[in-house]
Amino acid sequence: MVCRPKMKEPRCRTPADDETGAARRDAADLSRADWRNQTSLPSATNIVRLLNQAGLCKAVPADATVLLKASQADPNELKTLWDLAREFRDYVRAHPPAADYALYADYVFNPQNAEQGFVHFVVCDRKGEWVIVDMQNSHQPDYQSIGIISRERCDQLLVKRLEGYLK
């Protein structure tokens, strides 16, 4: 997702996991392995809608679907986040977006237990430099305030966190 401040007629683009650039992983059971390696066009579309609705930037869908895999290799959440951030940085450097910024998001959640899961996202500028690297899980107040049990709630948390950075 690429954004400029609202004052400058911002343009956002998400060249990441799906056509709007947001990667999503949904899991009914975190012990299962088959939920990994999934993208969600509905989630990415929803993020674009929520960002535009909030007036944070002018979000537009990405041109390509991308699924990054580095973050799936380790059970350490912090390492997972930074592996994802490095892989997305490298992707943006190799495939610069037309927009100013690009967003990639990674979700894991359990619909039966809001205490299990995380919401990670990375924003890079068009040169691939990190602008925001954010990690939320059940230990953080913003995550707890939304009660993450669905993809839509993950989307809401992402937008809430991004709004905190941009306003």
How do strand 59-61 and strand 101-110 relate by DSSP bridges? unpaired
pTM of the model: 0.77
Residue type, 101: Y
Residue 149 φ/ψ, nearest 5 degrees: -135, 10
Which pLDDT belongs to residue 61?
84
Q: At 118, list the tokens.
A: 């995380």
Q: What angle do CA 19, 105, 36 make, to 5 degrees?
A: 90
- Average pLDDT on 49-68 reads 90
- Average pLDDT on 1-18 reads 33
Beta bridge partners of 103: 123
Instruction: Answer yes or no: is pLDDT of 150 > 90.
Output: yes
Residue 149: pLDDT band (50, 70, 90) is: very high
Q: Could you read off the pLDDT of 75-96 as tens digits, one per residue? A: 899 999 999 999 999 999 999 9
As a whole number of angstroms, the distance between CA 86 and CA 139 comes to: 24
